[in-house]
Amino acid sequence: MTFIPNISLNDGTTIPQLGLGTYRLEDADAERVVAEALEVGYRHIDTASLYKNEVGVGRAIASSGIPRNELYVTTKCWNSEQTDPRAAIGNSLDRLGLDHVDLYLIHWPAPTRGTYIDAWQEFAKLRADGLTTSIGVSNFLTEHLDALAAASDIVPALNQIELHPLLQQNELRAVHAARGIATESWGPLGHGKADLVAELPALTNLAERYGKTPQQVVLRWHIQEGTIIFPKTTHRERLVENMSIFDFEISDADMDEIRGFNRDERIGAHPLEGNWD
């Protein structure tokens, strides 16, 4: 089985650096894909109440026969659930068929709602009660992290943000590093909305140099940058391909070349946009 390294979090726990994302997977597809991922060696699964596939994810986990303590499961509290995170996580656990998750995230700050700070304070109680091992946030900007710091002594274990070669989030990642917050990348390959190979033809040259696909080179770049990734796919062969990134190392010069691809170009939504109902 492929060795997947762990990243240490600020609460004394660890998270597998590579996992599987399940965004936009229907329940039935989620059950199949998660089952296949677990078969080929994945142990870290990322879902959310918004995705409406926690039941399928839970079925795959239950049928896998893998001991619970060998799995890492993340789910997220949607914006409209921020006023009652205890009910939200309870509903997620019921759908997943679990008694706890390993990581529970505030999905978006949704600042116009004005509820994420109170939600964070409730998250601390959920952790204390054993409903989740770690707590963190997603899509938070520095100003949102500052607001949490002003209201709570508990620092998020990680911030899950859009991050790929076209949007490298260098300033925010520096804030994370200074505060001991791990960086987790969603859309590490462009979230299916950007063809990184077409946008960045130099990736093809890099891939040929290492005998890998351009996608593997991008995922390996993330790994060497120290970020946590969970690329989504519905194909077993791609599950294997995405995990086959630990048998080579990108040189310092080539890492710098990929860093030079940054355009600060978002593919997903900006955290300050909309109400996020």
Catalytic residue positions?
A: 51
Q: Note whether 47 and 246 are within 8 A (CB).
A: no
| Calculated CA dihedral for residues 167, 196, 50, 158, nearest 10 degrees | -40
| 246 phi and psi angles, rounded to 5 deg | -110, 10
